[in-house]
Amino acid sequence: MTRPQVGSLAVNQQLTPDGKLKHLLSIEGLNIGILNEILDTAESFSSIANQSVKKVPLLRGKTIFNLFFEDSTRTRTTFELAGKRLSADMLSMNLKASSTNKGETLLDTLNNLQAMYSDMFIVRHQDSGAAQFIAQNVAPHISVINAGDGRHSHPTQALLDMFTIRRHKQDFTRLRVAIVGDILHSRVARSQIHALNMLNTGEVRVVAPRTLLPAAIENLGVNVYHDIDAGVKDADVIIMLRLQKERMHGALIPSENEYFQRYGLNQRRLKLADKKALVMHPGPVNRGVEISSAVADGPQSTILEQVSHGLAVRMAVMSLCLGSSGGQNE
């Protein structure tokens, strides 16, 4: 299995010349040092939820815009809450009702927001590469975080998934991780694969019908399975993916019921995995389509834990991008 190469710092717009995090656009191009710094910083933020005052002053005086061109609940809400817990001024824009729908260009919108003394844009967009485009066209002091772009990348989701796995399993080199479902349309899967390989995971598997796999997926450093029973056998972590029907063109699966019969995770299939295997899902969960309710709500499920960890991870990324890492005691 060939590991993909990590991009050079010298040509990576995500990092400053001295190797610090400036933007978070994708997992590709980061390095293991930055990835671990994000996870370690998230660990220092994770206890804030248990404190009586759930705020720290690290980003006081900073102005952050949530620019969501696509619908979202968990991601938008956790970014907004993360910014508020860091004491930033957070503004969430309803861009479906914005001036971009009245003829204004995206660059005009960005320039107007920059004129409001903004410090960070958090961007979700239906087009792959949108976050990179924005990062290339903002003022030098502004940081950009990709909250999901097309089929390309969702780096903070992958990071919170790695944080969740690390909390339970510690040593990635011994793990067998199976990613099951709609790999073809999943920006989450791509980011997860890059992160797992960067952490030197023992084996990364993708499990899906041929119609839901990208061409040459093996080049990303994964082993491919078309049979879910074989794909989850002895797995230490099983990550289930949602069928992204809104991105599908044509009949890629016979029916949702047949898909569940062939690729859904139920209790019988879970017993094929390691007895301490984690069951993960980035959400939203389609019960009875990719996972049964008994498994989603069962003792091995970390689905709600992932949501909670997303808050700490997004706090970490925001604070590192704006140059204020170090946790709640600073």
pLDDT of residue 330: 40
pLDDT in tens, 200-210: 999 999 999 99
The answer to whether the beta carbons of residues 98 and 121 sit under 8 Å apart is no
Residue 28 in any domain: the answer is yes
Asked whether the predicted pLDDT for residue 60 surpasses 70, the reply is yes
Residue 3 in any domain: the answer is no
Mean pLDDT computed over every residue of the chain: 88
Residue 74: pLDDT band (50, 70, 90) is: confident
pLDDT in tens, 276-313: 999 999 988 999 999 999 999 999 999 999 999 999 99
DSSP secondary structure letters along 193-222? HHHHHHTT-SEEEEE--GGGS-TTGGGGT-
**Sign of the alpha-carbon torsion through 44, 311, 86, 99:** positive
Residue 329 in any domain: the answer is no
pLDDT of residue 96: 61
Asked whether the predicted pLDDT for residue 64 surpasses 60, the reply is yes
pLDDT of residue 72: 81
Paired residues of 254 in beta bridges: none
Q: Kindly state whether residues 225 and 285 are assigned to the same domain.
A: yes
Residue 2 in any domain: the answer is no
Mean pLDDT of 186-191: 94
Enter the tokens of residue 308. 């909670």
Q: Considering its fold, how many domains does the chain have in total?
A: 2
pLDDT in tens, 3-23: 433 333 333 689 998 899 999
pLDDT of residue 7: 37
Whole-model pTM: value is: 0.90
CATH number for position 53: 3.40.50.1370
Q: Kindly state whether residues 96 and 226 are assigned to the same domain.
A: no
Q: Kindly state whether residues 113 and 190 are assigned to the same domain.
A: no
